[in-house]
Chain A
Amino acid sequence: MIDQQPAPGSVPGAGAMTQRERELTARIHTIVTVDANTILVKVLAPNALARYMRRDVSPGVWGKEAPFDYRIVGGTVARMVDVAQLCTPAEFLRAFRLDFTGSPFTPQLPMLYVMELATVDPSLVVLPLGAPAPPFPPQGYPPNMSDVRVTGQRMIDAAKSAGVDPNSYRLEHNPWPYTGTGITADAELGVPERWRRYAPVPPGAAIVGYDQAGNKRPVAIYRGPVTGWEALQ
């Protein structure tokens, strides 16, 4: 299973698949494509909304507050069409596997904020394919990086065999719950993921909130670097 917790000594995610299964998974990415008009979603850290609204451009405080610039956005994204079934913070947490080490996200968040933005430049967005790499400090898996590298290369081979656009993906070795398949690690709610390079927020991008009852409401819209984010109340 794609979301199976890694066992000591094994490479989870793409490493737990046969080559045929990798190719079938890669074939999904010939259908899940991103063009200039594709709307992407980016889950925002709990404190990000306030920082966007106050036009924060700051180096942050190491260990307490991350560096921030209200005019740029990047990191893990997904197509909006692929997350349409997600309604609550808990569902987003599962779908995007926001349970990474040190995560500020919890299923009990009263409101989860998500940015919706047009792709505009598809070359800013890459499909991360490869294999889960050992975390630091080590947790006992996988046994060594050579297994990870072999698995990662097999995932790339699968993408080539499936005919995935070679300009659309890159080899990545990231800590679990990264799977290396381009799909997040949840058997029911997993979504095709992409990684957006850090670049200016396109005007017209919106921040929406999802509450515990599954309601979605618009919160703010981006008018550009001069005007910043405008609250929608």
Chain B
Amino acid sequence: MTDRYPNNRNWAVLNGVTYGATLRSVAKTVELAHRGETPPPDDRFVYNERYSVWTLQVPMTECEQVYTASSRAFYAGHLCQVIAIGTDGNAQLYYLEGNRGEAERLGFEQVDPGTHAKTVPVRELHGYYEERRDLLFDGWREQTFPRETAATS
């Protein structure tokens, strides 16, 4: 597996630094993770020796950005999610479009309910990009443009 690609994770940006993130959606907090023995710039991080990782839990609203990244590319004209890229030069794809009969014609195999997968040479991918789902937008919208409550007479 290559380290750089693909990217199918949650991330948060705090004080200009990007961290891997775990969402605690009920509490509206996010746990930030920083790997390595060198501490991150924010001195609130606590080192977890068992997992060799620095972690910090903060309210989501404290972060400049919180998002889910998803690696996408086109294969034979069809949008796919890139799940892995091996050091052998092959990429593993999940089919994302709504015609899985066509996916099977292209050689994708159903590996579990609703999942069609195929391994292809990474050179056959086109238009690789990262989709980012902004996880702060709904909260920002609610705060900035609150729903009108029912009028009382």
Q: Which residues of A contact B (CB under 8 A)?
A: 36, 42-45, 48, 57-60, 62-63, 66-69, 71-72, 74-77, 96, 98, 100-103, 118, 120-121, 123, 128, 130, 133-136, 170-175, 178, 195-200, 202-203, 224-227
Q: A203-B22, A226-B55 are in contact. Are A72 and B119 (CB under 8 A)?
A: no
Number of CB contacts from chain A to chain B under 8 A: 140
Please state if A175 and B81 are interface contacts (CB–CB under 8 Å).
no
CB pair B68–A67 under 8 Å, yes or no, is no
Report Cα–Cα, A112/B1, bound state, in Å: 30
> Do A175 and B113 touch (CB < 8 A)?
no
- The residues in B between 14 and 61 inclusive whose CB is less than 8 angstroms from any CB of A are 20, 22-25, 31, 33, 48, 51, 53, 55
Asked if B70 contacts A171 (CB within 8 A), the reply is: no
Q: Judging by beta carbons under 8 Å apart, are A199 and B112 in contact?
A: no
Q: Note all chain A residues with C-beta closer than 8 A to B117.
A: 60, 66-67
Which residue in chain B gives the minimum CB-CB distance to A123?
B133
Q: How far is the CB of B74 from chain A (nearest CB, A)?
A: 16
- B112's nearest neighbour on chain A, judged by CB, is A45
The answer to whether A226 touches B22, judged by C-beta atoms less than 8 angstroms apart, is yes
Asked if residues A74 and B101 are in contact (CB atoms below 8 Å), the reply is: no
* A136 vs B99: C-alpha distance when bound (angstroms): 12
Q: Is the CB of B113 within 8 A of A120?
A: no
Note all chain B residues with C-beta closer than 8 A to A136.
Answer: 101, 104-105
Q: A178 to chain B: which residues have CB within 8 Å?
A: 100
**A67:B83 contact, CB within 8 angstroms:** yes
Q: Could you tell me the distance in whole angstroms from the C-beta of B80 to the nearest C-beta in chain A? A: 10
A67-B84, A69-B8 known; A172+B33 contact, CB < 8 A: no
Q: B130 on the interface (CB 8 Å rule)?
A: no
B residues contacting A by CB (< 8 A) are 1, 8-10, 20, 22-25, 31, 33, 48, 51, 53, 55, 68, 70, 81, 83-86, 90, 92, 94, 96, 98-102, 104-105, 109-115, 117, 119, 133, 135
> In the complex the two chains form, what is the Cα distance from A213 to B99 in whole Å?
37
Evaluate contact between B133 and A121: CB separation under 8 angstroms.
yes
Q: Which residues of B contact A226 (CB under 8 A)?
A: 20, 22, 31, 33, 48, 51, 53, 55
Indicate if the CB atoms of B110 and A57 lie closer than 8 Å.
no
Among A44, A128, A175, the most chain B Cβ lie within 10 Å of the Cβ of A175
Q: What is the minimal beta-carbon distance from A75 to any residue of chain B, in angstroms?
A: 3
**With the chains together, A197 CA to B133 CA distance in Å?**
12
Complex alpha-carbon distance, A227 and B98, angstroms: 34
Enumerate chain B residues within 8 angstroms of A43, measured Cβ to Cβ: 112-113
Nearest CB of A to B37, in Å: 15
